[in-house]
């Protein structure tokens, strides 16, 4: 692997994290785009008392990077499969040995350390490792904390069994559905995580789940105390069949499907706006082709 030193000019996004990364005397491997993401997500924890957990720490370089970046008040815990990682306990870190895709490991881990503030998954990067880790850690992250999953590009790599219906990125899409299902106008998806994950952030090769139970409440439409609305709703004006003299052929073609659609939806007591929207949605296909 070629050593590429990322730019870290003072004031540049991620510069402080890069400096700590380069100062570490032990090996750490990070993509050059990650440092600015780390800073945007984790700067608020600097010089505070909080619990940080990193999965995948064998060579130890990242442990020292985080210690320098966060400061002496941070409780830094490392997790790895290799028992040799225990050597970093002599440097003042808490180290746990176990598999991140073993639910029993997580049960024992949180029984020992309690709830945490940040979990950074830089482990094996397989679908099962990332998904199982997310499922078993999120409920043990305090409000205001987060789960950060690195190297999510593996969801697109054949070497990790992808593309797959059960890739980590597809799991993230289900989480997005859970978040949106908090709207009372949608069907709620039963899940223990629905009212735990407040939001998701997507970056190049990184996904972050922001945890905040206080903000993850069911949302309902509201109206203020203003006067009754008098403005005309123009959202569905596009469905009107008006003859455009400058485009007679286009107007005629539009009438061919809009008029029958209105009649058909009326006969079946369907919502004509819904049916018409489905018919005209074909125009969106080009935006989904990459």
Least confident of 49-58, 70-79, 189-198, 202-211: 189-198
The pLDDT confidence band at residue 133, using thresholds 50, 70 and 90, is very high
Together in a domain, 153 and 248: no
Together in a domain, 71 and 158: yes
Residues 24-33, mean pLDDT to the nearest whole number: 92
In a domain, 47, yes or no: yes
In a domain, 227, yes or no: no
Q: Which residue range is the domain that position 268 belongs to?
A: 237-288
Q: Note the pTM of the prediction, 2 decimals.
A: 0.84
In a domain, 228, yes or no: no
Together in a domain, 157 and 251: no
In a domain, 116, yes or no: yes
Together in a domain, 175 and 247: no
In a domain, 225, yes or no: no
Together in a domain, 155 and 49: yes
The string of pLDDT tens digits covering residues 173-185 is 999 999 999 988 8
Q: How would you write the chain as a 3-class SS string?
A: CCCCCCCCCCCCCCHHHHHHHHHCCCCCCCCCCHHHHHHHHHHHHCCCCCEEEEECCCCCHHHHHHHHHHCCCCEEEEEECCHHHHHHHHHCCEEEECCCCCHHHHHHHHHHHCCEEEEEECCCCCHHHHHHHHHHHHHHEEEEEEEEEECHHHHHCHHHCCCCCCCHHHHHHHHHHHHHCCECCCCCCCCCCCCCEEEEEEECCEEEEEECHHHCCCECCCCCCCCCCCCCCCCCHHHCCCCCCCCHHHHHHHHHHHHHHHHHHHHCCCCHHHHHHHHHHHHHHHHHCC
- pLDDT attached to residue 278: 67
- pLDDT attached to residue 269: 45
In a domain, 220, yes or no: no
The string of pLDDT tens digits covering residues 140-154 is 999 999 999 999 999
Together in a domain, 63 and 193: yes
The pLDDT confidence band at residue 258, using thresholds 50, 70 and 90, is low
Together in a domain, 164 and 282: no
What CATH number does the domain containing 160 carry? 3.40.50.150
In a domain, 143, yes or no: yes
Angle at 99 between CA 98 and CA 104, to 5 degrees: 85
Together in a domain, 63 and 141: yes
* pLDDT for 210 beyond 70: yes
In a domain, 184, yes or no: yes
């Amino acid at each position: 692997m070629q050593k590429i030193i990322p730019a870290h000019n003072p004031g540049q996004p991620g510069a402080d994290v890069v400096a700590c990364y380069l100062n570490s005397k032990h090996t750490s491997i990070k993509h050059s785009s990650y440092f600015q993401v780390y800073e945007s997500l984790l700067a608020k924890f600097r010089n505070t008392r909080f619990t940080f957990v990193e999965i995948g720490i064998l060579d130890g370089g990242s442990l020292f990077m985080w210690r320098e970046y966060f400061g002496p008040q941070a409780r830094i815990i490392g997790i790895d499969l290799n028992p040799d990682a225990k050597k970093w306990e002599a440097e003042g870190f808490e180290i746990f040995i176990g598999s991140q895709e073993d639910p029993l490991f997580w049960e024992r881990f949180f029984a020992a350390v309690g709830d945490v503030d940040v979990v950074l998954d830089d482990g094996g990067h397989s679908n099962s490792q990332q998904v199982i880790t997310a499922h078993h850690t999120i409920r043990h992250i305090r409000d205001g904390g987060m789960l950060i999953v690195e190297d999510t590009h593996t969801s697109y790599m054949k070497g990790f069994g992808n593309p797959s219906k059960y890739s980590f990125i597809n799991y993230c899409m289900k989480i997005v559905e859970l978040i949106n299902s908090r709207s009372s106008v949608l069907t709620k998806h039963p899940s223990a995580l629905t009212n735990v994950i407040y939001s998701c952030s997507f970056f190049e090769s990184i996904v972050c789940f922001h945890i905040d139970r206080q903000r993850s409440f069911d949302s309902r439409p509201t109206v203020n105390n203003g006067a009754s609305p008098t403005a005309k709703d123009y959202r569905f004006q596009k469905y009107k069949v008006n003859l455009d003299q400058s485009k007679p052929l286009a107007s005629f073609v539009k009438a061919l499907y809009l008029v029958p659609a209105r009649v058909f939806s009326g006969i079946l007591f369907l919502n004509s706006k819904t049916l018409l929207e489905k018919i005209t949605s074909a125009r969106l296909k080009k935006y989904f082709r990459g």
